[in-house]
Structure 1
Amino acid sequence: MADDRAHIQEFFGARAAHWDTRFPHDGPAFADGVAALGLLPGNAVLDAGCGTGRALHLLREAVGPDGTVIGVDLTPQMLAAANDAGRGGPGTLLLADVARLPLRAESLDAVFAAGLIGHLSRPEADLRELARVVRPGGRLALFHPLGRAALAARQGRELSDDDLRAEPRLTRLLTASGWRLLSYVDEEERFLALAVRRD
């Protein structure tokens, strides 16, 4: 698992400074993903694997000045890029692993996770850790600005039912980790699985 973390840090660390320029047109998809969470003013939300913080301002707008937005990422360079872009403002950016979050149990209303699922070294345990910090009835949005087929094509690989984002596999994974899948969208320009934390 330490090797997985080191690989992720190396991969994203080398790309952090130019990450946003690689995907300049993702804004509307991110906005749709955040909107699907149904956040309310005053809510507390985690951006898990926040990267350069492209969703942070959208999350802050949704929860308002009385809400809390926490961005967590494993890569120091990504958090530095978020700060350099002015996205580290109100709320907190934490250098941490989603497998061991420095947050109290049931302290959040929701989790937004853009592109995270494919980088989890222990998906069931890591999703269980996300469930731990969310109150019962809270929501999780597993998001990507590309659907499964488009992402596979970009990465030069075949689309597979072994993909963690394939609906049958993801449904089982979420169920085993304390979540219940509410909706599943896999389109060319958006992947969004919305789940609720079970009691």
Structure 2
Amino acid sequence: MSDDHTHVQEFFGARAADWDTRFPDDGPAYEAAVSDMGLRLGDRVLDAGCGTGRALPPLKAVVGASGVVVGADLTWAMLEAAVRAGRDRDGRLLLTDVAALPLRSESLDAVFAAGLVAHLPNPAENLRELARVVQPGGTLALFHPIGRAALAARQGRQLTPEDLRAESNLGPLLTDSGWDMTSYADEDARFLALAVRRG
């Protein structure tokens, strides 16, 4: 396992038990982001880096009983927290690296990814892997329940021009990875970039 993976697992493993209580008011932001994805009944969707599974219930509510929701995360403690919260009823949980998904190519209609981009060891390659498992025309949602400036303030850091989630950086990164960005919102209350898988 790489040092990047070990660092991510240690960071989130130490925070898994109280993750949901630290951010109790994020539910409506998750629901709104899922709503903006344009999912349909019967769709197959991956929550990449699902953490404690907070996106799984709204995803399952949209795709319905005929749809498939998969939550993938690298950190066992986060998936355990998802099970304790009962969210495994809304999606199948996979302990896996989103950089090497055990899923067939073009087997999904969409990917939801909350707070994932900043933790990807090789963003272009990793976003390409997400593109691999989504059929052409499928959707990618890169989400965070607060915007870039609010997150930087919370973390006690300054925004820099190199920030991967800046629109001027994220658009070309997505294009190079098989996606076309279709909308971008960076507000105090949320960050949401939507992209479509190129054919």
Q: Give the structure-2-normalised TM-score.
A: 0.99
Do the aligned partners of residues 155 and 90 (structure 1) sit closer, same or farther apart at CA in structure 2, a change above 3 Å counting?
closer
Report if the CA contact (8 A) 2:60-2:69 is conserved: yes
Task: After TM superposition, list the pairs within 5 Å mapping 1:1-199 onto structure 2.
Answer: 2-199=2-199
Report if the CA contact (8 A) 2:56-2:90 is conserved: no
Kindly provide the CA deviation profile for residues 149-179 of structure 1, in whole angstroms up to 9, marking residues without a partner as x: 0000011111112111000100010000000
Kindly provide the CA deviation profile for residues 90-129 of structure 1, in whole angstroms up to 9, marking residues without a partner as x: 4310000010000000000000000001100000000000
Structure 2 gaps of 5+ residues are: none
Please tell me the residue identity of whatever aligns with 1:152.
A
Alpha-carbon separation, structure 2, partners of 1:15 and 1:168 = 32
Alpha-carbon separation, structure 1, partners of 2:66 and 2:90 = 11
Please tell me the residue identity of whatever aligns with 1:170.
L
Report if the CA contact (8 A) 2:17-2:77 is conserved: yes
Deviation beyond 4 Å, 4+ runs, structure 1: none
RMSD of aligned alpha carbons: 0.8
Across the two proteins, how many residue pairs are aligned to each other?
Answer: 199
Alpha-carbon separation, structure 2, partners of 1:65 and 1:166 = 36
Alpha-carbon separation, structure 2, partners of 1:90 and 1:48 = 15
Alpha-carbon separation, structure 1, partners of 2:173 and 2:26 = 27
SS at match of 2:127: helix
Structure 1 gaps of 5+ residues are: none
